[in-house]
């Protein structure tokens, strides 16, 4: 089973740990560089991206995170985690940095005051068995993507799920729904990158 860490500085860490465990991963928390060094993949949870950014700097994790992403570490970010994976933020708060890695620019809190939190069925490329239930909470959207990034899902014309190689990001929170398909997709990406057999037990090409 691949070891998948959850960046445990702020945000909905427990929900991701539970979803990863249900998806067949060995889930652990990551707060220190040594813990980051020990995982095969990482989830950056939803929460508040400015806070996560500042704590990552304070905990000495920002540069190690960038180094591991550059070296090909699979990372999945939901909501605030999506913001952390973006190469650019349209409206950053002062002092807010990102890890980067996905060639995209995101707009924070993009859906606006009238629509701060909502739920919608989202058809996600690469996920079988129907749309996923998207829970959006003060969610970002993707303002623009570069050539390297693949849009997996859009909502009202705005990309809300993006993949670039081993990096996956959603503007919504599958960890809050009990549907573990997104975490299974990510755990499979981690297992593949780690050279382990597919954790779902599916033979290559079976899908
Ligand atoms: N609006 C938050 C931010 O900018 C993200 C909200 C979330 O993760 N649910 O970081």
HSE-CB of 94 using CA atoms within 13 angstroms: 0
Distance 138 CA to ligand 1 centre (A): 6
115 C-beta closer than 6 A to ligand 1: no
pLDDT value at position 204? 47
Distance 72 CA to ligand 1 centre (A): 25
Specify the ligand 1 atom closest to the Cα of 45: 8
pLDDT value at position 8? 98
pLDDT value at position 91? 85
Distance 83 CA to ligand 1 centre (A): 8
Among 10, 11, 15, which residue's Cα sits nearest to residue 57?
Answer: 10
pLDDT value at position 206? 42
Pocket test for ligand 1, best of 7, 43, 49 (most atoms within 8 A of CB): 49
pTM of the model: 0.93
Hey, where are the domains in the chain? Answer: 3-193
Question: Which segments of the chain have a pLDDT < 50?
Answer: 202-207
Instruction: Give the C-alpha separation, 48 to 192, whole Å.
Output: 30
Instruction: Give the C-alpha separation, 152 to 185, whole Å.
Output: 12
The ipTM of this complex is 0.95
pLDDT value at position 112? 86
Could you confirm whether 150 is annotated as catalytic? Answer: no
Report pLDDT digits (tens) over 153-177: 999 999 999 999 999 999 999 999 9
- The alpha-carbon radius of gyration of the chain (Å, integer) is 15
1 is in an annotated binding site: no
Q: Which residues pair with 26 in a beta bridge?
A: 3
Instruction: Give the C-alpha separation, 16 to 4, whole Å.
Output: 10
Check if the beta carbon of residue 102 is closer than 8 Å to that of residue 164: yes
| Fold observed for domain 3-193 | Rossmann fold (3.40.50)
Question: At residue 190, what are phi and psi to the nearest 5 degrees?
Answer: -65, -45
């Amino acid at each position: 089973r691949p070891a998948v860490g959850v960046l445990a500085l702020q945000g909905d860490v427990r929900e991701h740990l539970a979803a990863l465990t249900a998806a067949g991963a060995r889930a652990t928390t990551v707060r220190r560089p040594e813990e980051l060094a020990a995982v095969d993949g990482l989830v950056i949870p939803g929460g508040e991206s400015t806070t996560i950014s500042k704590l990552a700097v304070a905990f000495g994790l920002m540069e190690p995170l960038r180094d591991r992403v550059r070296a090909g570490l699979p990372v999945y970010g939901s909501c605030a985690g999506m913001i952390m994976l973006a190469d650019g933020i349209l409206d950053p708060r002062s002092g807010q940095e990102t890890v980067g890695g996905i060639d995209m620019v995101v707009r924070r809190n993009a859906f606006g005051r009238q629509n701060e939190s909502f739920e919608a069925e989202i058809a996600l490329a690469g996920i079988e068995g129907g749309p996923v239930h998207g829970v959006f909470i003060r969610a970002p959207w993707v303002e623009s993507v570069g050539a390297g990034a693949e849009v997996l899902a859009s909502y009202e014309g705005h990309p809300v799920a993006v993949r670039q190689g081993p990096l996956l990001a959603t503007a919504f929170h599958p960890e809050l729904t009990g549907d573990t398909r997104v975490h299974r997709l990510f755990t499979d990406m981690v297992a593949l990158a780690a050279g382990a057999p597919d954790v779902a037990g599916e033979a290559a090409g079976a899908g």
